[in-house]
Amino acid sequence: MKKIIFTLLTLFTGIILFAQSTVSGVVIDSNTEEPIPGVNVKVIGKSLGTATDFDGKFSFKVSQDIPFTLEFTYVGYIRQTIEITKNDEYVTIVLDESHTSLDEVVVSASRTPESVRESPVTIERMDVRGIKKSASASFYNSLENLKGVDVNTNSLTFNSINTRGFATFSNTRFVQLIDGMDNASPALNFVLGNLVGISELDVQSVEIIPGASSALYGANAFNGILFMTSKNPFEHQGVSAYFKTGLTVQESAGDNNYYDLGIRIAHAFGDKFAAKASFSYMKGTDWYADDTSEYKFVGVGRPDEILPYRTGGYDHNGINIYGDEVATDINGVAKSLEALGLIPGGASALVPHDVVGRTGYLEQDLTDYNAESAKLDVSLNYRPFADDLEIIYNYRAGFGSTIYQGTNRYQLKDFTMTQNKLEVKNNNFFVRGYMTTEDAGDSYDMVFTGVNMNMVDAEEWFGTYVGAYLQAIMGGATSDQAHQGARVYSDATITLQPGTPEFEQRFKEVTSNPDLASGSKFVDNTKMYVAEGNYNFASLINDFMDLQVGGSFRKYSLNSDGTIFTDYDGPINYKEYGAYAQASKKFFEEERLKLTASIRYDKNEFFDGNFSPRLSIVYSAGDTKNHNFRASYQTGFRNPTTQDLFIGLNAGRAILVGASPDNLDRILPGTTLTGRKVYNDSYSVNSVIAFSQSGNLADLVPTVTGLVTPEKVQAFDLGYRGFLGKVSVDINGYYNSYDNFISNSVVITPIDGTTSDMSGVMDLVNGNTKTFQTYTNSKAAIASYGVNIGLNTRVFEKFDLGFIYQWADLDFDQESDPDFQAGFNTPKNQIKASIGSANLFENFGFNVSYRWRDEFLREATIANELLPATSVFDAQVNYTVPKIKSMFKIGASNIGGNEYRSAPGSGYVGSMYYISWVINQ
């Protein structure tokens, strides 16, 4: 303990002055003799360092006495060191290309730098090299080419990353951190892809840990976690920029221009202060979603029956048509018209009990499909002692418009999320605090927009419809002919037509009204505050072992003005905290065996504390440690989301009511009831349906719904990483066992009576009830397992070949919870392959990648569909012009336009053709 205090004291108080010298030089490739940009140059034992510029050159000031040793590292090259013995020395370094990826350094698997071979768990990474060779339109999209990684495309500006199955667009089971900051929207509780993210110019590295890792990262590190690290302005200085433009090509949307540009400026003002600013902006036309089919639920775990446009009845509810949900029995309308004397008495006998839905609006009538994303990242970095101690202030903002698909389809319009972070760190510790705030801007629910626009004059429309229907019937029409005529007539006379001022006016009224009973706007100003710290004791205990402890604190401040949450009387605050420790030790000669054990304790204000352990073992075999075997046991948990806890939203068919103990005594919107009543004194919806059919009281089941608690996963992983001849092999298999999946249950609550006596039944009979959706946990027994195989090799000296095979499957006994929809949403078989060369001939490179996925059942509340197998080709060719530090790339994703979609209801992903110019990356 004394020693720690002493060290801390020196850290904060010791100011030692050193002589300054400037080291400079150039780094070149031993094979091509070309300069290598982006090589990390570092003084060993210090955090001091820089990176080579586009010409492979570097230069920085060192306040260090000679001699000292410089280390040169770059992905794909063998590490080099050189001893500097003279002040202001100029050195030329020749790096040999490495044929092993095992030495690549990753940080996230153990919260400390280690080589990939030592990583205790499966980890995927991508860096600048990967970005350069990617054929995807953006680096974030190209993550799909990594092993075990699935991308769900919500929108042109919103791709959702997932690993290990159970994909949804609102991926609350996956964490994304940028420079340690959690990127999730505080109100939505999931990451909006890279909408609020990082510019590709500023990406230092991307790491993905598939599978559970709550032992280090706490709640929600459940399916996996994505880390993005930006470039430090001390090490990566100068001005860099890119400009991309091209076409998005989709059958529905046609050909549309898009452009994407970015600039990054970083400068170190001496060795103590550095700053950077990075800005990028992308604008295009989103993928249109114009599926007019209705997806009719036929049973849990089965694909919906797909009814093409206006088949099977007059209340067709097209998945991308909104407002057609407004439907009624026209015989009832006829009877009220009779009562009002608007049609002859008795005429309702000519009007069948047909449920007719209003003509809805196509999605494209309710959105401009403007896909826009602006990202700003500013950081001020201060090294008070010009050593590894660094104080960082970071401001990160994302602004954009995109489409998100959950239960409905949502237009996020002028959505803003900002993060402010203050961090102090050195090689042994970090302490940081950050705040995330969001403003939903002019976002709205597109389904409710259509519904509420059509609700305004629903009576007139249906009245006109029935009048026209009757007239046609009395003129000799069949019912079908009369329906068609009535629809045409009432649409022509009542329905507002897109493009007219009346339509625009009503659209504006509805989308600016936050009351879902009549509007569709989202109001959200939710904030999240996080503080966390970590200390690595390794250096204090002479690297006897690696020992880290850390903790985190998180506070949510929900603020939707009563529109989403029950926060009508002011913001709702709640807290979570956690602490963890990890010990890791290497054994045997040449440290071939590494054991790591971690444990984390998390406590949410509303739930019992939760311990998440992790155990792992890595063994390196072979003369050059070329065969590495790993096994791990990990756990993950996911806290119920802010919505699961505090929602109080009248969604029309049901009122959604969150399950937190604090929420239970709040009055729910549009009712006189509280959540406590709903959870404790309701009937299950199935029993009410059974009762209504049988009239038998015994069928009625009073239900007490369990309050939602965290869901949990245990993951077992086995892996091998190494070389078989010249082929690099990475293979892993996993088995995940899930517990307490968070689920919904719909109940019907008597308003005045109670389920404990006949008063509840009387309420049911009199229709004096409300329907609620509650948040609880499923008892379903679920497990998933899979194997990922990755093979990489180089042939003919120049061509890099990659091959990935992913296999995943689900083990779920539906009978353990008949109503629970597992939503594995992952193809059983996937293949990813690539071929490319960074330098096919002088300054010229190319890459082609191919992805194939098997057909699979995509389940979601919006619809369930068996998505067909798809094949996607991406390709790029690039040409480097060293003289102007530029790389030009012509590329295309989904060449051939074999359009596919991630889920029913979302837009088909078409092709993108682009040309880009990147300067000084």
* Residue number with CB closer to another protein (193 or 352): 352
Task: Pick the stretch among 274-282, 301-309, 777-785, 910-918 that binds another protein (CB under 8 A).
Answer: 301-309
Cα 643 to Cα 742: distance, rounded to the nearest angstrom = 12
Beta strands 21-29; 90-95: pairing state: parallel
Q: Is residue 337 part of the contact set for another protein (CB under 8 A)?
A: no
Which residue, 700, 711, 797, 796, is CA-closest to 755?
700
Which residue type sits at 330? Answer: I
Task: Pick the stretch among 280-288, 297-305, 508-516, 745-753 that binds another protein (CB under 8 A).
Answer: 297-305
Cα 522 to Cα 414: distance, rounded to the nearest angstrom = 12
Smallest gap from residue 335 Cβ to another protein (A): 9
Q: Is residue 344 part of the contact set for another protein (CB under 8 A)?
A: yes
Cα 46 to Cα 387: distance, rounded to the nearest angstrom = 6
Pattern 749-788, binding to another protein, x per CB under 8 A?
A: --------------------------------------x-
Residue from 225, 857, 872, 918 in contact with another protein (CB under 8 A) = 857
Smallest gap from residue 807 Cβ to another protein (A): 4
Q: Is residue 852 part of the contact set for another protein (CB under 8 A)?
A: no
Cα 889 to Cα 838: distance, rounded to the nearest angstrom = 12
Q: Is residue 535 part of the contact set for another protein (CB under 8 A)?
A: no
Cα 574 to Cα 565: distance, rounded to the nearest angstrom = 13
* Residue number with CB closer to another protein (327 or 707): 327
List binders of another protein among 683-742 (CB under 8 A): 724-725, 729, 731
Q: Is residue 78 part of the contact set for another protein (CB under 8 A)?
A: no
Smallest gap from residue 482 Cβ to another protein (A): 8
Which residue, 711, 568, 706, 723, is CA-closest to 635?
711
Residue from 121, 126, 319, 347 in contact with another protein (CB under 8 A) = 347
Smallest gap from residue 481 Cβ to another protein (A): 9
Q: Is residue 807 part of the contact set for another protein (CB under 8 A)?
A: yes
Smallest gap from residue 863 Cβ to another protein (A): 14
Q: Which two tokens stand for residue 716?
A: 């077992």
Cα 321 to Cα 319: distance, rounded to the nearest angstrom = 6
Q: Which two tokens stand for residue 824?
A: 């594995």
Q: Is residue 746 part of the contact set for another protein (CB under 8 A)?
A: no
Smallest gap from residue 864 Cβ to another protein (A): 10
Q: Is residue 339 part of the contact set for another protein (CB under 8 A)?
A: no
Q: Is residue 631 part of the contact set for another protein (CB under 8 A)?
A: no
Cα 175 to Cα 227: distance, rounded to the nearest angstrom = 8
* Residue number with CB closer to another protein (140 or 812): 812
Pattern 211-250, binding to another protein, x per CB under 8 A?
A: ----------------------------------------
Which residues face 536 on adjacent strands?
Answer: 548
Residue from 238, 828, 833, 852 in contact with another protein (CB under 8 A) = 828
Q: Are 732 and 719 in contact (CB under 8 A)?
A: yes
Smallest gap from residue 732 Cβ to another protein (A): 12
Smallest gap from residue 484 Cβ to another protein (A): 12
Residue from 303, 441, 450, 905 in contact with another protein (CB under 8 A) = 303
Q: Is residue 842 part of the contact set for another protein (CB under 8 A)?
A: no
Which residues face 532 on adjacent strands?
Answer: 432, 552
Smallest gap from residue 122 Cβ to another protein (A): 16
Pattern 312-331, binding to another protein, x per CB under 8 A?
A: -------------------x
Which residue, 789, 801, 809, is CA-closest to 720?
789
Q: Is residue 305 part of the contact set for another protein (CB under 8 A)?
A: yes
Q: Is residue 813 part of the contact set for another protein (CB under 8 A)?
A: no
Smallest gap from residue 166 Cβ to another protein (A): 17
* Residue number with CB closer to another protein (475 or 609): 475
Task: Pick the stretch among 127-135, 252-260, 711-719, 850-858 that binds another protein (CB under 8 A).
Answer: 850-858
Q: Is residue 307 part of the contact set for another protein (CB under 8 A)?
A: no
Using CB under 8 A, count the residues that bind another protein. Answer: 38
* Residue number with CB closer to another protein (317 or 479): 479
Q: Is residue 881 part of the contact set for another protein (CB under 8 A)?
A: no
Which residue, 309, 153, 333, 210, is CA-closest to 634?
210
- The set of long-range contacts for 519-522, using a CB threshold of 8 Å and a minimum separation of 24, is 519/448, 519/452, 520/444, 520/445, 520/446, 520/447, 520/448, 520/449, 520/451, 520/452, 521/442, 521/443, 521/444, 521/563, 522/410, 522/440, 522/443, 522/444, 522/445, 522/560, 522/563, 522/564
Q: Is residue 8 part of the contact set for another protein (CB under 8 A)?
A: no
List binders of another protein among 453-482 (CB under 8 A): 473-480
- Tell me the DSSP string of 82-110: EEE-STT-EEEEEEPBPS-STT-EE-TTT
Distances (CA, A) of 229 to 205, 206, 209: 5, 6, 14
Cα 124 to Cα 163: distance, rounded to the nearest angstrom = 11
Q: Is residue 102 part of the contact set for another protein (CB under 8 A)?
A: no
Task: Pick the stretch among 347-355, 384-392, 612-620, 633-641 that binds another protein (CB under 8 A).
Answer: 347-355
* Residue number with CB closer to another protein (236 or 483): 483
Q: Is the dihedral of CA 454, 457, 461, 462 positive or negative?
A: positive
Q: Is residue 805 part of the contact set for another protein (CB under 8 A)?
A: yes
Smallest gap from residue 314 Cβ to another protein (A): 10
Distances (CA, A) of 682 to 641, 670, 699, 702: 23, 17, 14, 6
Q: Is residue 497 part of the contact set for another protein (CB under 8 A)?
A: no
Q: How many helices (H) and strands (E) does the chain have?
A: 14, 53
Q: Is residue 348 part of the contact set for another protein (CB under 8 A)?
A: yes
Cα 853 to Cα 858: distance, rounded to the nearest angstrom = 13
Q: Are 722 and 627 in contact (CB under 8 A)?
A: yes
* Residue number with CB closer to another protein (605 or 854): 854
Smallest gap from residue 805 Cβ to another protein (A): 6
Omega within 30 of 0 (cis) for the link into 67: yes
Task: Pick the stretch among 113-121, 592-600, 682-690, 849-857 that binds another protein (CB under 8 A).
Answer: 849-857
Q: Is residue 662 part of the contact set for another protein (CB under 8 A)?
A: no
Smallest gap from residue 870 Cβ to another protein (A): 15
Q: Is residue 626 part of the contact set for another protein (CB under 8 A)?
A: no
Which residue, 46, 111, 37, 110, is CA-closest to 75?
37
Q: Which two tokens stand for residue 872?
A: 């996607």
Q: Is residue 884 part of the contact set for another protein (CB under 8 A)?
A: no
Q: Which two tokens stand for residue 713?
A: 């996963």
Residue from 3, 86, 129, 353 in contact with another protein (CB under 8 A) = 353
Task: Pick the stretch among 207-215, 342-350, 894-902, 903-911 that binds another protein (CB under 8 A).
Answer: 342-350
* Residue number with CB closer to another protein (725 or 767): 725
- In the block, residue with structure tokens 């940080």: 107
Which residue, 55, 89, 56, 88, is CA-closest to 72?
56
**Residue 638, φ and ψ in degrees, nearest 5:** -130, 125
How many other C-beta atoms are found inside a 10 Å radius of the C-beta of residue 686? Answer: 16
Interacting residues with another protein (CB under 8 A)? 298, 302-303, 305, 331, 344-350, 352-354, 473-480, 724-725, 729, 731, 787, 789, 805, 807, 809, 828-829, 854-855, 857, 866
